[in-house]
Amino acid sequence: MATTAAPYGAEPVGTLSASGSFTGKVQHIAIATTYGTSIFYGDFVKLAVTGHVQKDTGTTTLTPVGIFVGCSYTDPTTGQPTYSQYWPASNAATDAKAYVVTDPNVLFKMQADGACGQNYLNANAAVVQTAGSTSIGRSKNAVDQSTAAATNTLPVRIVDFVDGPDSAVGDTYTDLICKFNAGHVYDTTTGSALS
């Protein structure tokens, strides 16, 4: 049973799109040299007006381009190609690329910060933003259980529950299956302003 708060961000598990799995929907997007915020596997990311990816730090609203699942860059100190689950803040690499699941219909698993019963199915909710773990490179973001409502502007929709030996509906910290509800940049008709 999920009785311990152990949030792990958004972990892609599938898609509602008719064309295959989410694994074919990873886009490589540049990260600006010395971008000053760490980005962890499972964090929501957005596009800056420069066309670079940045961590989306919103809670009740997001403007995501997708979910960060790692990055690659040439280490500016050693000159070696580096592959990482997280982007270390202020890295001086000049060729950094984020790996982002950009499918607006991606399904992702997230832990709630409280108990969610069956009545939470199809509710919308906000996100709890917490600093990720540099030791394992994972996000620690969660679904904000207390905000679950019909509100159409909330960023995630609860579409299912994780049912297994370690998780069940109504657990103290319920594991959920979610999708983007509002704000995904590929679901809006307004483009980015050029910088």
Q: What percent of the chain has pLDDT over 70?
A: 95
Answer whether 22's CB lies under 8 Å from 6's CB: no
pLDDT category, 24, cuts 50, 70, 90?
A: low
pLDDT digits over 164-194, tens only? 888 899 999 999 999 999 989 988 878 877 7
Mean confidence (pLDDT) of the chain: 93
What pLDDT, on a 0 to 100 scale, did the predictor assign at position 46? 97
Which pLDDT score is estimated for 173? Answer: 95
Whether residue 195 has pLDDT greater than 70: no
Res 1 pLDDT > 60: no
Closest CA to 177 of 164, 157, 161: 161
Q: Look at strands 66-74 and 53-55 and give their pairing.
A: unpaired
> What are the sequence ranges of the domains in the chain?
20-101, 106-186
Q: What is the pLDDT of residues 50-79, one digit of tens each?
A: 999 999 999 999 999 999 999 999 999 999
pLDDT of residue 22: 62
pLDDT band at 112 (very low <50, low <70, confident <90, very high): very high
Distance CA 69, CA 23 (A): 11
What confidence score (pLDDT) does residue 189 get? 79
- Round to whole Å and give the CA distance between 109 and 118: 16
